[in-house]
Chains A and B, each alone.
Chain A
Amino acid sequence: MPVKPRHNFKPGAKPPIRKTPFVVILGFMLLGIIGIATGEPQRVLEQTILICLSCIGIG
């Protein structure tokens, strides 16, 4: 049974570059930059250099 083509580009032509991954990456990069702008990395650092005993099941 012949395989049904799943793309519209012509046989023999180069497959097109997928743009969606770049849009997604850019979107999350923007989100990360907003997080950095609000000072979240500093907060992450403050929280992660301390041992939260109850968070690891002790106490």
Chain B
Amino acid sequence: MGALRRWVQVLSTLLVNGSWDFPFTRTIYQGPLKVLCAPGLNCHSCPASTTSCPIGSLQQLLAGLRLSLENGQFYFGFYVLGFMGVLGGIMGRAVCGWLCPFGLIQDLLHRIPSRKFAVPAGLRYLKYGFLVFFVILLPLLVVDQFGSGDTWFCKYICPAGTLTASLPLLIMQPDLRQDLGLLFLNKFVIMVTFLTWAVYASRPFCRTTCPLGAFYALFSRVKLIKLRLDHARCTNCEACHQVCPMGVKFNQSPDDAECITCLACMDKACEAGAIYLEIGGVPVSSRKRGPVTTTSNLS
């Protein structure tokens, strides 16, 4: 299952970054596919990107809301929110585990042999702050004299944008290098920090900072496709704790907002067959071992 997930991650990354003529055009893709949002964090200023970043698009719409209202246009971000909500309702954070290009980058970095460390559990709540303040409130409320806001998360934080948009554009368009300043230095340091951290800890950006992950996490209890725990079969051996890339203790919190449905606990860890996948209440994966349970024990 791990190999399948890796292939899906690679395929998804290639699909949302399918414009490979940028070494010749030296700019970004400007075709109609950009009307669609990428499911994961994928900067639309990346030269290869064929889709728009939902977090970037949402901030741009909210930052321009006052101006659009003055012009009689009602761009509240419903289109982007609707797209994100439908995906969240179906998959929740499985998007992070299976479809997000920046998740793939972090997964690959974590494979570099080194001593591994845990991410402090309290830092998981930071990402909700980034979602509320940097993606929604600040772009909406902090405006210039013309009523236009800023894309705060993209501008000051997003390491995916620095890695996949800023750096390639700086390489392709040398003239841009004269405009570099503290803003870029700040973003470059953040990017290097997260990429280095990803070698030593699993998915630190997803767990502490990603506002898109925070949004999808809101669907952890109500998403259509989710992992479930059969309490009758669970032996509380805690093997699921050891394999989870997100630090989830699945037998203690099966609806944990951090779960990216990578299926490692079900596939690699649970010898009792207590973890299974279900869609809308219907179990779809076979349980490997353990005694037959009654359905009244499913949670």
Judging by beta carbons under 8 Å apart, are A47 and B57 in contact? yes
Q: Smallest CB-CB separation from A45: which chain B residue?
A: B35
Interface stretch among B67-75, B98-106, B121-129?
Answer: B67-75
Q: A15-B295, A48-B52, A58-B169 are in contact. Are A41 and B79 (CB under 8 A)?
A: yes
Measured between C-beta atoms, what is the minimum distance from B22 to chain A in Å? 12
Q: Is the CB of B86 within 8 A of A25?
A: yes
A positions within 8 Å CB-CB of B? 3, 5-7, 9-18, 20-22, 24-25, 27-36, 38-45, 47-49, 51-59
**Is A53 within 8 A of B179, CB to CB?**
yes
Tell me whether B28 is interfacial, beta carbon within 8 Å: yes
Known: A35-B79, A35-B82, A43-B75. 10 other contacts (CB 8 A): A6-B231, A12-B295, A38-B74, A40-B75, A40-B79, A44-B35, A44-B61, A52-B60, A55-B45, A57-B184
Bound form: Cα–Cα A27–B176 in Å: 43
Chain A nearest CB: distance from B274 CB in Å?
11
Which residues of A lie under 8 Å from residue B56 when comparing CB positions? 48, 55
Contact A24 B296, CB 8 Å, known A17-B282, A29-B82, A54-B155: no
Pairs A–B under 8 Å by Cβ, sample size 25: A3-B297, A5-B296, A7-B295, A9-B296, A10-B296, A15-B298, A17-B282, A24-B89, A31-B81, A39-B73, A40-B77, A43-B61, A44-B52, A47-B64, A48-B53, A49-B28, A49-B30, A55-B151, A55-B154, A55-B161, A56-B155, A57-B156, A57-B184, A58-B180, A59-B176
Tally chain B residues at the interface, Cβ within 8 Å.
Answer: 73
B155 touches A13 (CB 8 A): no
Residues A25 and B74 in contact, CB atoms below 8 Å apart: no
- Which residue in B78, B162, B231 is a CB contact (below 8 Å) of A32? B78
